[in-house]
Amino acid sequence: MAIRLAVYTLLLFASWEFNLLGLPDAVDWSRCEPRSGYLGTESHLILYRLQRADIPALHPLFSEAPHGPRPYRSQFGAQGIALSAACRLTATDPARFAPPAASAFALLTALVVAGVFAAAHRDLGPPAGDVACVLAAFSPVFVKFAPSLYWVPFLLLAPFALVWVFGPRATTAGRRAVLVAGVGMAVYCKALCGYEYITTVILAPLAAAWFHQHRAGESPGRKVRAAAALVAAGLAGFALALGTHVAQIEAVFDEDGVAVIRERAVGRTTGGVGTELPGVDSAGDTRLGFAAKCFREYFGQRVLSTPAALGRWAKDVPLLGVVTAAAAFVVVAWGWRQRLSRDAGALAGGLVIALAGGVSWQVLAVNHMCVHRHLNLIVFAVPFLPLAFVAAGYAVTVVGRRVGVVLLGSLPLLMAGNLAHSAALARAGDVDQRHAETAIAGRLTGPPAVDDPRAAGAVDRVGPAAAVAPALLVEWGLFDANTGGPADPNAVVVSGWAVSGWRSTARPSARVVAVCGGKVVACRVQWYRRPDLDALAGKPMHRAGFVAVIPSAELVPGERVRVFVLSASDPTCVTEVPVP
């Protein structure tokens, strides 16, 4: 188990921190290249906090606002408080402190999930843990969330992991009391870092308790008592966090802490949709109809992906696919319960409870669910997805017990191959870009040319980096953690899409060239996968959306920016796209 724990941790860390498998790394706009130094989604809230050494030690986080960061009273902000203290103690500036901190969070997340899979291997035998680890390495959900300084996903999973890993050893009343207390403290720590998904976090340990108790043949009464104790511990941890948060607000801001928390709770649950995030358009739907539409959308989001470097052979598995497979497992386990071991029934019950825990947040925090569709997929990873991966590994037992070792051994080879292939694609892309820039330079000095419809594209947004939302600045690598804004505020950021032939290719089918003042200007272009283009093309378009950043030094005062789209295979195939 110790060896597998180490191996699983390293493989999951390599995938989630560096994206060595080249998976789409977000629900909406997603990159697919290996990466380094990624700070994680929503981490600007923590970066704002790291800059402020002039505030009380227990001051909460800061959120973005039209006139600069403002105190984020919606939560205690323990992750920001702890990281800020560590940053000051190490005398490190935020820009150098944040990347290793994000790596540490990714490592802790990998360790917690690896512990779950190693314990599954201990309890169920091979290849349950091995197959689960391989599947989790291909999960874009963790690629997006694992390094996040804000979401601290290892704390989201901690209450479940504690019961899953240590449940079999809680054989005496004293040990059970210690385990239940540990769950309560884990929920307390998570709630201090944010109340999002708290119902899922509280209910998740019930799935692990059911698994162990059903395997052991315990009576329904003991299962109910164990579930009640775990829920009570989780609620106690939640209540203690609320009390700590109220005391913080009253001490730091001299405000009514209960009223502040109540206002945010109403906004996320029973209030109008706009109270959670102003400006959300429900498109004329009734409240229930809009909520149902948002809820259904989650089941179309991807939870497993193959490397984007596969081009047209790259595939995605939506949440609905995993839920359907899990439902089939549950039906088989129930229908053949007299023939199968109790392990199947234990896993089946755990899957049902885990999925119900994820759905609980979607229902009880309905407004949060509706307006955070780029985030809430994580509720199904705490702990439904890990359990579904374990169930898949258990089902693979009928194929052979060594298949897991083979898959596990092939994972580092696939990572190394994808890394080499991605480097080759990047070099080829640099050549394509130089050819494209040369072609545009010739077009500017030659006679007027006619646009070629085979190269298509559009500019969705253009403006100075200072006007870009901080969350996007972090995602696009433009956020300066030392100043709390873009490193080059006057740089022009152009976002849009560009394709040639609507082909799903391993590298961009089109290139983007910017012109200002009658000359080609140097700019950094990042390529993304966009769900709207996927829907339009009817297939994954991994590198069709783009973000181009033109440094302020390249701009010519008084001159507008022009954008050209060129076919990567034929630079003479050019279209100039309108720039707002």
Residue 281 has pLDDT above 60, yes or no: no
Per-residue pLDDT band at 275 (split at 50, 70, 90): low
Cα–Cα distance measured from residue 499 to residue 544, given in angstroms and rounded to the nearest whole number: 6
How far, in Å, are 21, 101, 551 from residue 555 at the CA level? 37, 35, 7
Q: Quick one: pLDDT at residue 397?
A: 84
Per-residue pLDDT band at 175 (split at 50, 70, 90): very high
Percent of the chain with pLDDT over 90: 68
State mean pLDDT over 157-180.
95
Cα–Cα distance measured from residue 87 to residue 85, given in angstroms and rounded to the nearest whole number: 5
Least confident of 43-47, 110-114, 231-235, 305-309: 305-309
Pair 201, 382: CB distance under 8 Å: yes
Q: Rounded mean pLDDT of the chain?
A: 91
Q: Quick one: pLDDT at residue 289?
A: 84
CATH 2.60.40 domain residues, the chain:
428-577
Q: Quick one: pLDDT at residue 409?
A: 93
Sign of the Cα pseudo-torsion (104, 165, 305, 403, in order): positive
Least confident of 3-7, 193-197, 263-267, 330-334: 263-267
Cα–Cα distance measured from residue 332 to residue 350, given in angstroms and rounded to the nearest whole number: 14
State mean pLDDT over 334-355.
92
Residue 274 has pLDDT above 60, yes or no: no
What residue type is assigned to position 361 of the chain? W
According to the per-residue pLDDT averaged within each range, which of 220-234, 311-325, 337-351, 506-520 is highest? 220-234
Q: Is 245 helix (H, G, I), strand (E, B) or coil?
A: helix
Residue 283 has pLDDT above 80, yes or no: no
How far, in Å, are 347, 423, 440, 566 from residue 434 at the CA level? 55, 17, 10, 12
Percent of the chain with pLDDT over 70: 97
Q: What is the pLDDT of residues 40-88, one digit of tens each?
A: 888 999 999 998 888 999 999 998 766 678 899 989 999 999 999 999 9
Q: Quick one: pLDDT at residue 507?
A: 83
State mean pLDDT over 286-314.
86
Q: What is the pLDDT of residues 357-404, one digit of tens each?
A: 999 999 998 888 888 877 888 999 999 999 999 999 999 987 777 888
Per-residue pLDDT band at 412 (split at 50, 70, 90): very high
Q: In what order do the strands lie in the sheet with 545-550?
A: 455-464, 492-500, 545-550, 524-528
Per-residue pLDDT band at 417 (split at 50, 70, 90): very high
Pick from 562, 565, 559: nearest CA to 546:
565
Per-residue pLDDT band at 284 (split at 50, 70, 90): low
Cα–Cα distance measured from residue 291 to residue 371, given in angstroms and rounded to the nearest whole number: 10
Per-residue pLDDT band at 503 (split at 50, 70, 90): confident
Helix extents (H) in 446-557? 470-475, 531-537
In this prediction the pTM is: 0.93
How far, in Å, are 44, 85, 94, 205 from residue 89 at the CA level? 21, 6, 12, 35
Q: What is the pLDDT of residues 424-436, one digit of tens each?
A: 989 999 999 999 9
State mean pLDDT over 562-570.
92
CATH topology of domain 428-577: Immunoglobulin-like (2.60.40)
Q: Quick one: pLDDT at residue 63?
A: 86
Q: What is the pLDDT of residues 529-563, one digit of tens each?
A: 998 998 888 888 888 999 999 999 999 998 999 99
Q: Quick one: pLDDT at residue 448?
A: 74
Sign of the Cα pseudo-torsion (80, 252, 256, 66, in order): negative
Pair 138, 21: CB distance under 8 Å: yes
Per-residue pLDDT band at 265 (split at 50, 70, 90): confident
Q: Quick one: pLDDT at residue 273?
A: 64
Pick from 188, 117, 129, 194: nearest CA to 159:
188
